[in-house]
């Protein structure tokens, strides 16, 4: 008896499927002036593939009268299918719909209205665009002040309790942001040193002041270009990575989970990155200075026939330690700006992947802008102090 009941239950499941497979959902009859299509059965989501298969084999060259009076059931999927094939048949022949109920008509009108092309919004006026941009800047400024307040609060608490510092993460980010960037930093600085030497050699050779190319390369690289080039490269490389990493964590709700478990994202995510970059960037600047001067040395030897020994001897005479120190002071400041902006933009990411790209771009642009602005500020201060 148990097996008989099981077989009957399976038959009850299979029979509707067999019935659905054998159902003719649409028939047609040809007349002299038109063709009459008759829709039958249940035009619902479950029967959609079968109906579509039957409709795809139809092809007419006369007026079509489409009758829906024999349909047993009709849902939104059936209405959408009707709209689709009504447009297909209407491209070749005139189509007239008959036999539909009032509820079917209402559903058709509703779905057709929702599928209509949305009228593009009216273009914004000049004042409206300025106002909207001003509010965007104001919101960014407000969020950045809140971010800095929370950051300095966490930093002060961490300095008072050094045991809370995550040294393992700091070392990881030093390696990731510093050591892994040596190649690109060295190559970029070397090429910039060569460019300065080549461009300067053309002008200095006119006055017989070839040896002064050493002064130009040494002081400009150590004092200005080394820190600036390193900061710009790191802003594009590590600053964008910070934004993308934290943004991805926000989308996957890892940051929300951390807050739920009582962990502070600023202690776990932001501070280790800031400390790591503030340690790594001065070391990268030192390496950048060496590679930039070496690039100038190579170019001077090729262009002005200044030997390496002559170049180094002149460098000892003109390059004072203060120039190196003044350039190195910029390192921690630039590092803080890049890491803070990268983390801030990462925490601003909303719940979609497009937002990661937008905020990563904003992170790089903002970091480079602030680095250049602070470099100009340092130049003004150094000039006023006559150092």
Residue ranges per structural domain of the chain: 2-115, 125-158, 165-385
The Cα–Cα gap between 205 and 384 comes to 32
- What local confidence, expressed as pLDDT, does residue 10 receive? 46
* Cα Rg, the chain, nearest whole Å: 36
State how far the alpha carbon of 250 is from the alpha carbons of 109, 146, 241, 342, in Å. 41, 18, 14, 14
**pLDDT category of residue 122 using cuts at 50, 70 and 90:** low
- What local confidence, expressed as pLDDT, does residue 99 receive? 74
- Report percent pLDDT > 90 for the chain: 34
Given a cut of 50, is residue 51 above it in pLDDT? yes
**pLDDT category of residue 330 using cuts at 50, 70 and 90:** very high
- What local confidence, expressed as pLDDT, does residue 82 receive? 74
The Cα–Cα gap between 81 and 365 comes to 49
**pLDDT category of residue 120 using cuts at 50, 70 and 90:** low
Instruction: Report the predicted TM-score, pTM, of the whole model to 2 decimal places.
Output: 0.66
- What local confidence, expressed as pLDDT, does residue 16 receive? 45
Burial class (CB in 10 A: 0-12, 13-18, 19+), 298: middle
Cβ atoms of 289 and 324 within 8 Å: the answer is yes
Given a cut of 60, is residue 285 above it in pLDDT? yes
Q: Record the tokens describing residue 44, joined without a space.
A: 């619902």
Residue 187: closest CA among 151, 132, 237, 255: 237
Span 238-267, average pLDDT: 89
Poorest-pLDDT segment among 68-82, 209-223, 282-296: 68-82
Within a 10 A sphere around the Cβ of 118, how many other Cβ atoms? 6
Given a cut of 70, is residue 18 above it in pLDDT? no
Given a cut of 60, is residue 83 above it in pLDDT? yes
Q: Record the tokens describing residue 40, joined without a space.
A: 């039958």
What CATH class has 2-115?
Answer: alpha beta
- Report percent pLDDT > 70 for the chain: 89
Q: How many residues does the chain have?
A: 387
The Cα–Cα gap between 39 and 27 comes to 7
Give me the residue label for tokens 């009268």.
Answer: 65
Span 326-352, average pLDDT: 91
Given a cut of 60, is residue 383 above it in pLDDT? yes
357-374 residue pLDDT tens? 889 999 999 999 999 999
Cβ atoms of 215 and 318 within 8 Å: the answer is yes
- What local confidence, expressed as pLDDT, does residue 207 receive? 79
Residue 50: closest CA among 69, 70, 76, 77: 77
- What local confidence, expressed as pLDDT, does residue 15 receive? 38
Span 366-384, average pLDDT: 93
- What local confidence, expressed as pLDDT, does residue 9 receive? 45
Given a cut of 70, is residue 74 above it in pLDDT? yes
Span 323-350, average pLDDT: 92
**pLDDT category of residue 183 using cuts at 50, 70 and 90:** very high
Given a cut of 90, is residue 104 above it in pLDDT? no
More confident site: 83 or 311: 311
- What local confidence, expressed as pLDDT, does residue 132 receive? 82
Give me the residue label for tokens 């509820």.
Answer: 103
- The neighbouring-strand residues paired with 29 are 36
Given a cut of 60, is residue 356 above it in pLDDT? yes
Given a cut of 80, is residue 301 above it in pLDDT? yes
- What local confidence, expressed as pLDDT, does residue 124 receive? 66
Over the chain, what is the mean pLDDT?
82
Given a cut of 60, is residue 343 above it in pLDDT? yes
């Amino acid at each position: 008896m148990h097996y008989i009941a099981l077989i009957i239950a399976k038959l009850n499941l299979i029979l509707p499927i067999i019935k659905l497979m054998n159902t003719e959902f649409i028939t047609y009859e040809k007349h002299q002036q038109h063709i009459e299509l008759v829709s039958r059965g249940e035009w619902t989501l479950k029967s959609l593939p079968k109906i579509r298969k039957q409709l795809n084999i139809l092809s007419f060259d006369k007026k079509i009268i489409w009758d829906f009076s024999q349909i047993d059931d009709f849902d939104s999927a059936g209405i959408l299918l009707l709209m689709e094939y009504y447009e297909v048949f209407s491209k070749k022949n005139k189509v007239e719909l008959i036999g539909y109920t009032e509820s079917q008509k209402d559903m058709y009108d509703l779905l057709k209205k929702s599928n209509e092309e949305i009228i593009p919004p009216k273009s914004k006026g000049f004042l409206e665009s300025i106002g909207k941009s001003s509010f965007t800047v104001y919101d960014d400024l407000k969020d950045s002040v809140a971010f800095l307040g929370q950051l300095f609060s966490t930093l002060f608490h961490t300095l008072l309790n050094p045991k809370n510092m995550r040294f393992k993460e700091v070392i990881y980010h030093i390696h990731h942001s510093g050591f892994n960037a040596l190649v690109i930093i060295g190559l970029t600085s070397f090429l910039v040193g060569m460019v300065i030497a080549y461009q300067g050699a053309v002008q200095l050779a006119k006055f017989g002041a070839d040896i002064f190319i050493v002064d130009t390369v040494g002081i400009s690289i150590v004092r200005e270009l080394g820190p600036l080039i390193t900061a710009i490269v790191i802003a594009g490389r590590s600053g964008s990575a910070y934004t993308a990493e934290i943004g991805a964590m926000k989308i996957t709700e890892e940051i929300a989970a951390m807050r739920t478990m009582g962990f502070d994202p600023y202690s776990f995510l932001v501070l280790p990155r800031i400390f790591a970059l503030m340690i790594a960037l001065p070391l990268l600047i030192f390496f950048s200075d060496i590679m930039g001067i070496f690039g100038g040395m190579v170019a001077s030897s090729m262009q002005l026939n200044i030997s390496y020994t002559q170049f180094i001897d002149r460098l000892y005479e003109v390059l004072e330690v203060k120039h190196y120190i003044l350039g190195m002071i910029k390192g921690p400041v630039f590092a803080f700006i890049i890491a803070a902006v990268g983390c801030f933009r990462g925490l601003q990411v909303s719940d979609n992947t497009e937002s990661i790209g937008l905020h990563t771009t904003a992170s790089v642009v903002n970091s480079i802008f602030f680095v250049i602005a602070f470099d100009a500020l340092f130049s003004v201060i150094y000039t006023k102090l006559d150092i």
